[in-house]
Amino acid sequence: MKWKYVFLGIVVIAIVIQFIRPDMSLPPVNPTHTIQAVMNLPPSIDSTIHRACYDCHSNESRWPWYSQISPVSWWLKSDVTDGRNALNFSEFATMTKKKQAKRLGDASDEVKKGDMPLKLYLPMHPAAHLTDADRQAFIAWATSEKALIESTMTPAERAQKTPQPRGE
Ligand code: HEC
């Protein structure tokens, strides 16, 4: 008798929370703000970041069907918000050169350590899996682009203060 009410309670909660939806609409993409607008991106690297990073680090996230179900929606939305705050390829060109260089270095470090793409994301997104060759190519690209940006920075640009990303 008691269990029947517990079960009923869970069902009611599961239904009611479906009405609490985060805003999952995609922010607009301004083509002059994207990483492609300011950076030399070979097609293979462009493809790597699109398939392995863009769901969390751009304004072009592809939401899977289960992202429409609360509480999964709350969790995924918060990952995407945190991901965009840390690095947004759709807004890359709006950062100072110093910050762009820093973020490329961070991205290279994350990929080197195997921390990005997030491990929990991979089982549901096999296309985001990076081979060792993909990883090496990405690291080499990010390292050389970082050096290129730094070589074009004026002393004033070098002196700009960059807020530390979270977790450091
Ligand atoms: C499933 C979502 C997801 C995917 C896919 C993903 N990231 Fe992230 N990323 C996050 C979140 C969330 C954070 C912020 C919290 C953290 O640092 O764990 C983050 C943080 C970062 C940071 C900042 C770390 C720092 O130093 O503070 C970098 C750089 C980064 N990601 C690069 C990448 C790159 C490059 C890819 C693709 C190869 C990628 N991420 C794929 C979710 C993701």
| Per-position pLDDT tens, the chain of length 168 | 689 999 999 999 999 999 999 999 999 999 999 999 999 899 999 999 999 999 999 999 999 999 999 999 999 999 999 999 999 999 999 999 999 999 999 999 999 999 999 999 999 999 999 999 999 999 999 999 999 999 999 999 998 876 655 544
Domain range for 46: 2-155
Ligand 1 centre from 83 Cα, in Å?
Answer: 5
| Domain-located, residue 166 | no
Give the C-alpha separation, 138 to 144, whole Å: 10
Q: Would 23 be classed as within a structural domain?
A: yes
Give, using CA atoms, the residue closest to atom 9 of ligand 1.
Answer: 83
Write down the pLDDT at residue 40: 86
Span from the CA of 106 to the centroid of ligand 1 (angstroms): 9
Angle, helices 132-151/43-52, rounded to nearest 10 degrees: 110
Q: Classify residue 92 by burial, with Cβ atoms within 10 Å: 0-12, 13-18, 19+.
A: buried
pLDDT for the residue 91: 98
Nearest atom within ligand 1 for CA of residue 103:
29
DSSP assigned state of 164: P
| Nearest residue (CA) to ligand 1, atom 6 | 117
Residues 24 and 59: their CA atoms lie apart, in Å, by 11
Three-class DSSP category at 91: helix
Q: Is residue 160 part of a domain?
A: no
Neighbours of 55 (CB within 10 A): 23
Q: What per-residue confidence (pLDDT) applies to 14? A: 95
Residue 106 to residue 159: CA distance in whole angstroms: 19
CB 139 within 8 A of CB 108: yes
Q: Which atom of ligand 1 is nearest to the CA of 86?
A: 23
Does residue 20 form part of some domain? yes
Total domains present in the chain = 1
Q: Is the dihedral of CA 122, 123, 124, 128 positive or negative?
A: positive
Q: Does residue 98 belong to any structural domain of this protein?
A: yes
In a domain, 29, yes or no: yes
Taking the mean position of all CA atoms in its chain, how far away is CA 13?
A: 31
User: Half-sphere exposure of 134 toward its Cβ, with a 13 Å CA cutoff?
Assistant: 20
Flag whether 145 is in a domain. yes
- Mutation choice for ligand 1 from 57, 74, 113, CB with most ligand atoms inside 8 A: 57
Residue 13, in any domain of the structure: yes
Report the predicted TM-score, pTM, of the whole model to 2 decimal places: 0.92
